[in-house]
Chain A
Amino acid sequence: MTIWKYGDDINTDMLFPGKYTYTCSTAEEILPHLLEDLDPTFAGTVRPGDVIFAGKNFGCGSSREQPVLGLKAAGVRAIVAKSFARIFYRAAINQGLLLIECPEAVSAHEPGAEVDIDVEAGRITVGERVFSFPPLPSEILAIQEAGGLLAYTRRRLEAPGH
């Protein structure tokens, strides 16, 4: 598992350049351009199970969802940040991508430190230190547990009495 570390205010143009927004919408189209203007090594080397650590306001800027779709498709296990921009946060819930807002865990991370995440227990271990993060509200957990908003919506539409 690789830990990718980035700073504050990583905007969605850095995560996925705006010039591709209206020509790339599938995972195959998005993946080669992921983080292109931030870290050109990312797209070629990211592996399933990798974790991203970042500073505050991760995902600010445009509402484009390609960054979330791409990171989910690349198999990124979680993004741990000091804070997230709100549209990015919603988009991640809607795709079932795990975001953990935990400034202490980000500050505690040193290069080479092992990271372990236990979602059910709401616990993240960074090196020797253990931090807890709060569970999602039940309405939102239902979306995540369904596998994302579209799966959740399909289930609701197909429910008897809809």
Chain B
Amino acid sequence: MGMTFAEKVLARKAGLESVVPGQIVMVRPDHLLTHDNTAAIVGKIQPELDTFGLVDPHLPVIVLDHVVPAASEKTAVSHRNVRAFVQAHGVRHFFDVGAGVCHQVVVEKGLALPGTVVVGSDSHTCSYGAVGAFATGIDRTEAAALMLRGETWFKVPPTMKISLHGRLQPPVSAKDLVLAIIGELGADGANYAAVEYHGDIEGLTIGERFTMANMGIEMGAKVAVFPVDHQTRAYLRGIGVLEASYLAVEADPDAVYARTMDVDLERIEPVVACPHRVDNVKPVTDVLGLPIDQFLLGTCTNGRLEDLETAADILEGHQVARGSRLLVAPASKEVLDEALGRGIIGRLSAAGAMILPPGCGPCLGAHQGVLAPGERCLSTSNRNFKGRMGCKEAEIYLGSPATVAASAITGKITDPRTLA
């Protein structure tokens, strides 16, 4: 009997011939991602670290990104403690404030490779399925235990196969596609399950696959993964990863799936997720004209070069509407530098955007764009939960970079097809 992607990766990592859904296996992950929460993680195990040491200086990947640069003395102390830990234990993969959002940095630096297992104390760790990694979120305590022992357990998940057919019709994007899928499946539609995307994926860039894998957790998935194809290999070559350094894992043709779903890409239209649930997805045409106070373009979901370029193209020759504000947070310093070099940042700024440093920005409501009661935000991020952007009496809508840019011109939710 054939195996799914998740079954094959977990069997290989556990040293077993085969595994079945529901089985518990012990695995040593290839990398452990932690971010600003490293300080709290390390704080739980200081005596053990002093006695037994860090299990492997190559295991952790630490990226300071959530509240950067520090917004208060407390966050500054926390960042300082992370740097001290990195120094004391010789952590090899450390990226200080300004490098970007952890998930973007992990992929850009070639630290999530096809067929590897990466866990992270952040729910959007599932993003690395874009390049064929088995990647999933864990809690801080589990991250702490991994720093000491390097091993954890997994329950082999059932797998859902989502087959894509046809091509998206621009300006419809991968964000619209994944929101439409979440709207159909619901916020727990893939709970505990692995999601495999198949079919016509060649029309989706690595960045678009990233957006879709990133939002796997918003349907409850353990991992959300794309097959490795010529685009993946070309992307990895481009960042200096040799093909000999990874072993792509592909589901067997006769793998057994718990559920299958078919999606016709030609029929996807621009959508938004309305407050306060990611699965409250409506066609943009249902909410046209809704006034917006703040626009956010960025985050690990949609802060990449192609997202910024799409927005800059739409904003060309226009200004952000009076009374609204557009915040742009590039997903990484590499994205920022590339966008600066290509004049994209200049074009966004000329249109009235405010450029934030690479990082999570206002996505989690800690700083850099907290909302006021009664305000409404349209964002390219991945969560619109009540209170998410710092105020429980504010509303967050989620949409694509094209929808955000088109709406920023009018100050109201706007169908990007009417401007593109």
- In the assembled complex, the CB of A56 is this many whole angstroms from the nearest CB of chain B, namely 6
Question: Do B78 and A150 touch across chains, with their CB atoms under 8 A apart?
Answer: no
Question: Do B145 and A68 touch across chains, with their CB atoms under 8 A apart?
Answer: no
Interface string of A37-72 (1 = CB under 8 A from B): 100000000000000000011001111110010000
A60 to B185, CA, bound (A): 15
Is the CB of B403 closer than 8 A to any CB of chain A? no
Using Cβ atoms and an 8 Å threshold, which residues of chain B touch A149?
A: 141-142, 144-145
Is the CB of A95 closer than 8 A to any CB of chain B? yes
Measured CB to CB, the residues of B under 8 A from A are 24, 26, 36-37, 40, 43-45, 48, 51-52, 66-67, 72, 74-75, 78, 121-123, 125, 137-142, 144-145, 148-149, 153, 155, 187-188, 191-192, 217, 220, 222, 277, 364-366, 370, 383, 385-388, 390, 392
Using Cβ atoms and an 8 Å threshold, which residues of chain A touch B52?
A: 157
Measured CB to CB, the residues of A under 8 A from B are 9, 11, 13-14, 17-19, 21-23, 25, 37, 56-57, 60-65, 68, 83, 85-87, 90-91, 94-95, 137, 139-140, 148-150, 152-154, 156-157
A19 to B387, CA, bound (A): 8
Given A13-B386, A56-B188, A150-B145 contact (CB < 8 Å): yes
A139 to B22, CA, bound (A): 13
For B36, B153, B220, B366, the residue with the greatest tally of chain A CB atoms inside 10 Å of its CB is B220
Given A13-B383, A57-B191, A150-B45, A25-B40 contact (CB < 8 Å): yes
Using Cβ atoms and an 8 Å threshold, which residues of chain B touch A19?
A: 364-366, 370, 387, 390
Question: Do A57 and B187 touch across chains, with their CB atoms under 8 A apart?
Answer: yes
Question: Do B139 and A87 touch across chains, with their CB atoms under 8 A apart?
Answer: yes
With both beta carbons as reference points, the residue of chain A lying nearest to B36 in the complex is identified as: A22
Given A149-B145, A156-B149, A63-B75 contact (CB < 8 Å): no
For this complex, 12 residue pairs linking A to B, each with C-beta atoms less than 8 Å apart, are A9-B188, A18-B387, A21-B37, A22-B37, A37-B386, A63-B137, A86-B220, A86-B222, A90-B138, A94-B145, A150-B141, A153-B149
Using Cβ atoms and an 8 Å threshold, which residues of chain B touch A25?
A: 40, 43
Q: Which of A21, A23, A63, A85 is close to B191, meaning CB atoms less than 8 Å apart?
A: A85
- In the assembled complex, the CB of A160 is this many whole angstroms from the nearest CB of chain B, namely 14
Given A19-B366, A57-B187, A11-B385 contact (CB < 8 Å): yes
